[in-house]
Structure 1
Amino acid sequence: MELAPHIFRKYDIRGIVGKEITAEFAYYLGRGFAEILRKDGRKEAAVGRDCRLSSDELSKALSEGLQAEGIKVISIGVCPTPQLYFTLFYKKVEAGIQVTGSHNPPDMNGFKLCIGEETLAGEQVQAVREAVERAIKKGRDLDRNATEETLEGIKDEYINYIISNCKPFMGDRTVKVVLDAGNGVGGLVGPQVLRGLGCEVEELYCEPDGRFPNHHPDPTVMKNIEDLKRKVVEIGADVGIGFDGDADRIGVVNEKGEVIYGDMLLLIYARYILEKEKGITVIGDVKCSDLLFSEVEKAGGRAIMWKTGHSLIKHKLREENAELAGEMSGHIFFKHRYFGFDDAIYSAARLVEILSRTSLPLSKLLADVPRRVSTPEIRIEFPEDKKFQVVEEAEALFSEYELIKIDGVRIKFPEGWGLIRASNTQPALVLRFEASTKEKLKEYQETVYKKLSTLAEIENWGF
């Protein structure tokens, strides 16, 4: 079989089903990953999957490949990605793979790889690619006859763990929640967790359906949360919560149906923890508002800006011994009272915990924070083989400005900033802007677009 090297991305594996991601590929991925596990002295791996139409076939082939190389497979079935992480952190299973396309289109699928409590990224993912290539050369004439078992009761353990983690801290207010799982796997556990915490829950699209018939499962894209916003206002809910396809990312709207971006949500969590625990470290990705970092410092915390990517943030969380981290995209990582992996279901539980302890509406929790005008994350379709080169060339174009080059190019303007980076998950450039006024925001956007246009022809700037 032919391997498509570009599907081995910075922090996971993703590609088009039937073309780049096939059952045959999944089998050899299992073989290659197993080789790495055996060299590391590991003998077992948990396998979970989302509800995409291709995930069942892929997980079976993956398990076959793992077993052929002598790795015992512990099946946890259809589940959110955080439930796989929970299996590794809480049950101490030695490794794991989640078959998931996350928030990508239905014709795509992929794999998130973990060894112990570490999610593989960068060179580790490339090492898996090399192992898969070796497995393909060997062919199928191998059978070490490892076993497979189903881990019974793990879903209930996961649900009950989150409830018992948050329930002692719940206040007197009954929180009214609209939950939109986007027909992803978060609907299997999210409603039970929230009801277990005493919330009144209105469910939207909580039945898993890999066709995603109602909207695409990505709550960071505005058109995907229109129904959520409308329902929150219609029934007078305190909060609207959306999950992506595998429930490792959260989207939130307040009681007015207004979106709370991931960076401001992270600030809400940070200030809540900092009320009692000064000096904690909080990490935000390069797409986050300047306000996140300044307000965390103001509240007595230590703020760090870091690269985008769930694997990369988790690495940094451990390195800095941080209690909390997050991304604009809605990946939130709680080490505080939890394990430090990205979990939209646990993040939802922590949000209703905060709301249950205050009489203030969600829209007022950041009322004292200075107002800024910002764009959402702007994704511009761009060729996979050219996106990193354009970002590299953009550095020279903006050399007269102060630049932050942690991940892409973040340009510091007098009253705001602009970001240009290559997406690690899609053939796209990612842009975001923030400024003190609408006029300044427009000015900074036009400055960036004008300069970028000298490097590439872009028909749709995403606004």
Structure 2
Amino acid sequence: MNFKGFKSGTDIRGYGAEQFSDEPLYLSDEFVMAVAESFANWLGARTGKYTNEITVSIGRDSRVSGPRIMAAAITALTAKGVKVYSCGLASTPAMFMSTLDLKCDGAIQITASHHPWERNGLKFFTPEGGLEGENIAELLSMAEKIYGKSYRAEPSLCVENDYMKTYCSHLQEMIKKGVNAENYNKPLEGFKIIVDAGNGVGGFYATDVLAPLGADIEGSQFLDPDGMFPNHIPNPENAEAMDSVSKATVESHADLGIIFDTDVDRAGCVENNGEEINRNRLVALASYIALEGHDGGVIVTDSVTSDGLKEYIETIGGEHYRFKRGYRNVINKQIELNKAGKFCPLAMETSGHAAFKENYYLDDGAYLMTKIVILLARDKSGEAIKSILAPLKQPVEAKELRFSIKCDDFRAYGEKIIEELEKYYSGKDGWTIADDNREGMRISADKDNGNGWLLLRLSVHDPVMPFNMESNEKGGVKKIAVSFYEFIKQFDKLDISPIEGFLSE
């Protein structure tokens, strides 16, 4: 078994559904038990405690394989003498928060985020935050050495805990204090807010946060957990999912529509007219919230944000720090900048991961939406969000293509292409290389060459080179693509059929 193959960034990922038990990356009971014991041993080494002095909380999303994987993990943990709080269906951010509220040494969340129903995975937390990639590699190495052991569960060490009730109470109190309405306990009276949970675990936000505070949630959809995800992929980046929540918002005459991914660490939302608040618009809105009263604060984002967003952040008194893709990358940079004395209240990926400094640097979709709900409820006109986002300049056209690298040493090959790209456009009339390239190569085009920008980078994990283009005029993206094609066609180990197809349209 290739244990290293289960590593996916800062998570462990594989196939969870038993129909896929023949897959090399199947999360078998034996594998999960070995990983769970390794986490207990890792926590013991980290804290200086014996495993029978350790407490771990564990939760899961709605995937069909969740109960089996959770039971296997609990078996191994209790067999080692670990006290376990079994939290059942829970969001990923809630499982981190449980380490603080329940005084746990660690937490496990069983989830594969927005991936298909047959996949699953494990995320790990300590009270200091999520484990890093090197920690996951260490866990897998430890697990490989003990794989195949038999375990005898100790049921008395497993305690059921409805932690989501506590987590929801925190969000309710946050809204009450933030709105400070005349009817303090019903600050959302008169507002209609719908939620699309995509049959993940996010339905709690409608029924256990918004409704008790007086919000009308009629028109909410797909709140019931269903691990087969029968309606749409629970993913705010998915076009079908966003179209679904947009239609539901308009049809129900809601003031705001909210959509979560499966485990609620990401979110998106929709204005009352159905217009999406996603990607650059969502980063802009979150930046406005984070910079209130904090002029000069730094907002860290990933590399694919628009020029308009940078201008917007600077207009509202902030500084934009464009960094790398990968939510852990932007969060770790945020932490680094704060430690260096540079106030950085927000790190955010265009995918919807948003981490506020004030919230333990935790990427929490429900927390972000709570901040937006407070903004909405403070302004009785219902126009606050529209006016806040009005100055944000949106590109007229945008396109993303992905080129596969067809060689074993794909990283070296991709880095060579990026190096040659810089040489190709350096000094080329009408093109300007960005002065803040921290991932790949971003190059701006003047009005004669497409009036926009291009970005070529290496995928965080895969042998793929994502290629983004934006333009401020109709037809500009094609102009940019034509120029780029003249450069990229020389690389025979790169599958450039996506750009050839685009140019032939």
TM-score of the superposed pair, with normalisation by structure 2? 0.82
* Structure 2 residue corresponding to 1:329, chosen from 327, 351, 360: 351
C-alpha contact (below 8 Å) 1:372/1:436 kept by paired residues:
yes
C-alpha contact (below 8 Å) 1:238/1:362 kept by paired residues:
no
**Per the alignment, in what secondary structure is the counterpart of residue 186 of structure 1?**
coil
User: 1:32-57 CA distances to partner (integer Å, 9 max, x unpaired)?
Assistant: 22221111125222111111011111
1:53 alignment partner in structure 2: 64
* Structure 2 residue corresponding to 1:188, chosen from 179, 185, 204: 204
Cα separation, partners in 2 of 1:256 and 1:142, compared to 1, 3 Å: closer
Matches within 5 A, 1:437-448: 437-448=473-484
**Distance apart, 1:281 and its partner CA:** 2.9
Cα separation, partners in 2 of 1:447 and 1:330, compared to 1, 3 Å: farther
**Per the alignment, in what secondary structure is the counterpart of residue 59 of structure 2?**
strand
Cα separation, partners in 2 of 1:220 and 1:142, compared to 1, 3 Å: closer
C-alpha contact (below 8 Å) 1:232/1:257 kept by paired residues:
yes
1:256 alignment partner in structure 2: 273
User: 1:102-146 CA distances to partner (integer Å, 9 max, x unpaired)?
Assistant: 10111211111222222122222222222122222xx41677969
2:418 alignment partner in structure 1: 395
C-alpha contact (below 8 Å) 1:50/1:79 kept by paired residues:
yes
C-alpha contact (below 8 Å) 1:50/1:99 kept by paired residues:
yes
1:432 alignment partner in structure 2: 468
Counterparts of 2:314 and 2:200, CA distance in 1? 36
1:9 alignment partner in structure 2: 8
Counterparts of 1:390 and 1:361, CA distance in 2? 48
C-alpha contact (below 8 Å) 2:289/2:371 kept by paired residues:
no
C-alpha contact (below 8 Å) 1:180/1:243 kept by paired residues:
yes
**Which has the higher relative contact order, 1 or 2, with Cα contacts under 8 A spaced 6 or more apart?**
1
Identify the range of structure 1 (445-454 vs 79-88) with the bigger mean alpha-carbon deviation. 445-454
Identify the range of structure 1 (248-257 vs 277-286) with the bigger mean alpha-carbon deviation. 277-286
Structure 2 unaligned regions, length at least 5: 182-187, 339-343, 426-432
**Distance apart, 1:100 and its partner CA:** 0.2
1:205 alignment partner in structure 2: 222
Counterparts of 1:279 and 1:92, CA distance in 2? 36
Matches within 5 A, 1:61-140: 61-136=72-147, 139-140=148-149
Structure 1 unaligned regions, length at least 5: none
Cα separation, partners in 2 of 1:146 and 1:427, compared to 1, 3 Å: farther
Cα separation, partners in 2 of 1:211 and 1:284, compared to 1, 3 Å: same
**Distance apart, 1:186 and its partner CA:** 0.7
Counterparts of 2:454 and 2:329, CA distance in 1? 22
**Per the alignment, in what secondary structure is the counterpart of residue 264 of structure 2?**
coil
Counterparts of 1:381 and 1:342, CA distance in 2? 30
2:285 alignment partner in structure 1: 268
Cα separation, partners in 2 of 1:78 and 1:144, compared to 1, 3 Å: closer
Structure 2 counterpart of 1:435, one-letter code = S
**Distance apart, 1:348 and its partner CA:** 1.4
**Distance apart, 1:416 and its partner CA:** 3.0
Cα separation, partners in 2 of 1:456 and 1:295, compared to 1, 3 Å: same
User: 1:331-374 CA distances to partner (integer Å, 9 max, x unpaired)?
Assistant: 111233x3331111121111111122232164443112334235
RMSD of equivalent CA atoms: 2.9
Q: Is residue 2:54 matched to residue 1:31?
A: no
Cα separation, partners in 2 of 1:71 and 1:3, compared to 1, 3 Å: farther
Identify the range of structure 1 (111-120 vs 240-249) with the bigger mean alpha-carbon deviation. 111-120
Matches within 5 A, 1:362-381: 362-375=385-398
User: 1:201-226 CA distances to partner (integer Å, 9 max, x unpaired)?
Assistant: 23110110000000111121112222
* Structure 2 residue corresponding to 1:280, chosen from 290, 297, 304: 297
Task: Report which of the two structures shows the higher radius of gyration computed on alpha carbons.
Answer: 2
Cα separation, partners in 2 of 1:80 and 1:377, compared to 1, 3 Å: farther
1:166 alignment partner in structure 2: 175
Identify the range of structure 1 (448-457 vs 111-120) with the bigger mean alpha-carbon deviation. 448-457
Structure 2 counterpart of 1:418, one-letter code = L
Counterparts of 1:425 and 1:66, CA distance in 2? 30
C-alpha contact (below 8 Å) 2:296/2:319 kept by paired residues:
yes
Counterparts of 1:151 and 1:447, CA distance in 2? 60
Matches within 5 A, 1:303-382: 303-321=320-338, 322-336=344-358, 338-358=359-379, 359=381, 360=383, 362-375=385-398
Structure 2 counterpart of 1:33, one-letter code = F
* Structure 1 residue corresponding to 2:439, chosen from 407, 413, 417: 407
User: 1:69-121 CA distances to partner (integer Å, 9 max, x unpaired)?
Assistant: 44332221111111101112333321111110110111211111222222122
Counterparts of 1:373 and 1:267, CA distance in 2? 17
Identify the range of structure 1 (280-289 vs 91-100) with the bigger mean alpha-carbon deviation. 280-289
Cα separation, partners in 2 of 1:381 and 1:145, compared to 1, 3 Å: farther
2:430 alignment partner in structure 1: none
C-alpha contact (below 8 Å) 2:404/2:494 kept by paired residues:
no
Cα separation, partners in 2 of 1:6 and 1:442, compared to 1, 3 Å: farther
C-alpha contact (below 8 Å) 1:82/1:248 kept by paired residues:
yes
**Distance apart, 1:22 and its partner CA:** 2.1
**Distance apart, 1:383 and its partner CA:** 7.8
C-alpha contact (below 8 Å) 2:406/2:495 kept by paired residues:
no
Identify the range of structure 1 (123-132 vs 312-321) with the bigger mean alpha-carbon deviation. 312-321
TM-score of the superposed pair, with normalisation by structure 1? 0.89
C-alpha contact (below 8 Å) 1:171/1:356 kept by paired residues:
no
Structure 1 counterpart of 2:172, one-letter code = I
